[in-house]
């Protein structure tokens, strides 16, 4: 065949691809419409939006079908997951009925407070927002409250609890603070009704609660605060119970240590006058991801990070131990001692066990997505 003819053939195939892609857009629109109708029917039945078993079956069937047709089962599962995420985002709102509930959100002007205010309000609850500046109205709003939710900064949460007016006996008292032990104890002292500590494991920029995690620390009267947890589950979140002390212990590693070491990394890059834009251009997907994890910190709230790190003096001790391990390991390098590094490496590999490989393959999946968009 002549070159021209081949080029013509290429053009024809491209038109066919475009037509297929257009069909794809229409098919996705059709699917989103069906999903919206399913959402409406589920609401009538009072069924939850997210049914893990149904989803698993769906993926299994399509994977099998893909295999039979000779295309990648992972491809169809990834595509379906992406499509389903959109459906959740559109349907989640109207799924919870809280008509008649009075909800008071203290600190409702903050980003996380606003997110919950919107959720409750969309569900039909009457939402009152109290800011520290209009504390005088607190007794009025609180006297008929079914839920008082604290969305105030970590540093003031205890004082706010102490200043609360007396709440109705059946009113739930709950907080959204990233530290759980102290606020929970304070709430239990202040209020004799249902108490639960919550830690939403997502940022206020989250468009929907679907598949997000909310950690719950039991305070008092599980029956009494059940409707709150049910609403959160209906919005799509998973709830995981854990003791407050255990929560704070775990968070000191993940939150405190990661935040501070990313922070120091950023400070160091600035001190060394590194050209970040150049780093980005020279980055593999994995380095790009690591830079993102550092840089994104500085687009967020300095006070929140400072408060989380300073929340407990035990954090400083743990961080001191980290610095001294860093110092020790660097010293071994300076002395040309590679063997110690290898030995430490192998010990930590054992400590992570199978998780190390799991993390490697999971992150590879993410890197593939980063590469898609490059």
Which parts of 52-81 interact with a second copy (CB under 8 A)? 54, 58, 61-62, 65-66, 69-72, 75-76, 78-81
Please identify, using beta-carbon distances, which residue of 42 and 126 lies nearer to a second copy.
42
Q: First vs last Cα of the chain: how many Å apart?
A: 36
Among 26, 118, 144, 226, binds a second copy (CB under 8 A): 26
Q: Where are the beta strands (DSSP E) in 46-109?
A: 102-106
Residue list 294-333, contact with a second copy (CB under 8 A): 294-300, 302-303, 305-306, 309-310, 316, 318-323, 325-327, 329-330, 333
Nearer to a second copy, 137 or 293 (CB): 293
- 267 lies in the binding site for a second copy (CB under 8 A): yes
Point out which span in 127-135, 136-144, 146-154, 272-280 binds a second copy (CB under 8 A): 272-280
- For residue 250, what is the enclosing H or E element? helix 244-251
Task: Round to whole Å and give the CA distance between 17 and 278.
Answer: 36
# binding residues, a second copy (CB under 8 A): 162
Q: What is the DSSP letter of 95?
A: G
Choose between 135 and 359: whose C-beta lies nearer to a second copy: 359
Taking CB under 8 A as the rule, does residue 169 contact a second copy? no
Instruction: Out of 35, 115, 151, 231, name the contact with a second copy by CB under 8 A.
Output: 35
Distance, in Å, from the CA atom of 256 to the CA atom of 200, rounded to the nearest integer, reads 16
> Of these, 186, 247, 308, 312, which contacts a second copy (CB under 8 A)?
247
Range in contact with a second copy (rule: CB under 8 A) among 4-12, 100-108, 160-168, 224-232 = 4-12
- Pick one of 91, 251, 308, 312: the residue that binds a second copy (CB under 8 A): 251
User: Which residue from 20, 53, 99, 223 is in contact with a second copy, where contact means CB under 8 A?
Assistant: 20
Only one of the segments 95-103, 135-143, 226-234, 242-250 lies at the binding site for a second copy (rule: CB under 8 A); that segment is: 242-250
Site residues for a second copy, window 100-129 (CB under 8 A)?
none
Q: Which of 31, 97, 126, 218 binds a second copy (CB under 8 A)?
A: 31
Q: Token match 């704070």: residue? A: 248
What is the three-class DSSP state of 241?
strand
Residue from 118, 144, 226, 357 in contact with a second copy (CB under 8 A):
357
Least distance from C-beta 264 to a second copy, angstroms? 5
Q: What is the CA radius of gyration of the chain?
A: 26
Across 248-263, b (16+ Cβ under 10 Å) vs e yields: beebbeebbbebbebb
Cβ-based nearer residue to a second copy, 100 or 336: 336
3-state helix, strand, coil in the chain (%, to 5): 65, 10, 25
Please state the closest distance from residue 155 (CB atom) to a second copy, in A: 9
Is residue 254 close enough to count as binding a second copy by CB under 8 A? yes
The residues in 80-99 that bind a second copy, with binding defined as CB under 8 A, are 80-86
| Coil, helix or strand at residue 340 | helix
CB of 235 within 8 A of CB of 94?
A: no
The binder of a second copy chosen from 13, 98, 185, 216 (CB under 8 A): 13
CB atoms within 10 A of CB 316: 12
Taking the least distance from each CB to a second copy, the nearer of 121 and 261 is 261
Among 111, 213, 243, 245, binds a second copy (CB under 8 A): 213
Helices (H) and strands (E) in the chain, counts: 16, 7
Cα dihedral sign, 174-175-181-182: negative
Count Cβ neighbours within 10 Å for each residue of 222-233 and write b for 16 or more, e otherwise. eebbebbbebbb
- Buried/exposed code over 112-134 (b: 16+ C-beta within 10 A; e: otherwise): bbbbbbebbebbebbbbbbeeee
């Amino acid at each position: 065949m002549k070159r021209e003819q081949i080029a013509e053939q290429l053009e024809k195939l491209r038109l066919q691809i475009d037509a297929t892609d257009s069909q794809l857009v229409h098919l996705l629109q059709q699917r989103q419409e069906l999903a919206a109708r399913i959402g409406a029917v589920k609401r009538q039945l009072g069924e939850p939006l997210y049914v893990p078993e149904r989803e698993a079956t769906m993926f299994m069937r399509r994977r099998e079908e893909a295999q039979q047709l000779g295309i990648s089962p992972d491809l169809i599962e990834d595509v379906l997951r992406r499509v389903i995420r959109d459906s959740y985002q559109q349907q989640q709102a109207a799924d919870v009925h809280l008509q008649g509930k009075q909800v008071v959100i203290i600190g409702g002007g903050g980003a996380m407070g606003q997110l919950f205010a919107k959720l409750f309000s969309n569900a039909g609850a009457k939402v009152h927002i109290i800011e520290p500046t209009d504390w005088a109205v607190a007794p009025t709003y609180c006297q008929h409250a079914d839920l008082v939710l604290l969305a105030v900064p970590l540093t003031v949460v205890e004082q706010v609890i102490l200043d609360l007016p007396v709440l109705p006996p059946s009113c739930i008292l709950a907080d959204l603070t990233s530290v759980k032990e102290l606020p929970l104890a304070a709430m239990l002292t202040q209020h004799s009704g249902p108490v639960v500590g919550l830690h939403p494991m997502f940022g206020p920029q989250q468009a929907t609660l679907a598949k997000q995690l909310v950690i719950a620390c039991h305070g008092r009267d599980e029956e009494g605060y059940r409707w709150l947890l049910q609403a959160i589950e209906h919005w799509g979140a998973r709830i995981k119970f854990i003791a407050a002390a255990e929560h704070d212990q775990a968070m000191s590693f993940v939150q405190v240590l990661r935040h501070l070491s990313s922070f120091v990394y950023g400070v160091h890059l600035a001190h060394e006058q590194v050209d970040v834009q150049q780093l980005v251009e020279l980055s593999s997907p994995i380095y790009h991801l690591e830079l993102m994890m550092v840089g994104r910190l500085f687009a967020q709230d300095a006070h929140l990070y400072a408060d989380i790190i300073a929340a407990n003096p035990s954090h400083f001790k743990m961080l001191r131990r980290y610095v001294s391990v860093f110092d020790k390991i660097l010293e071994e390098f300076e002395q040309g001692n590679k063997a110690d590094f290898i030995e430490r490496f192998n010990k930590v590999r054992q400590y992570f066990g199978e998780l190390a490989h799991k993390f490697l393959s999971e992150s590879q999946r993410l890197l593939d997505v980063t590469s898609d968009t490059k």
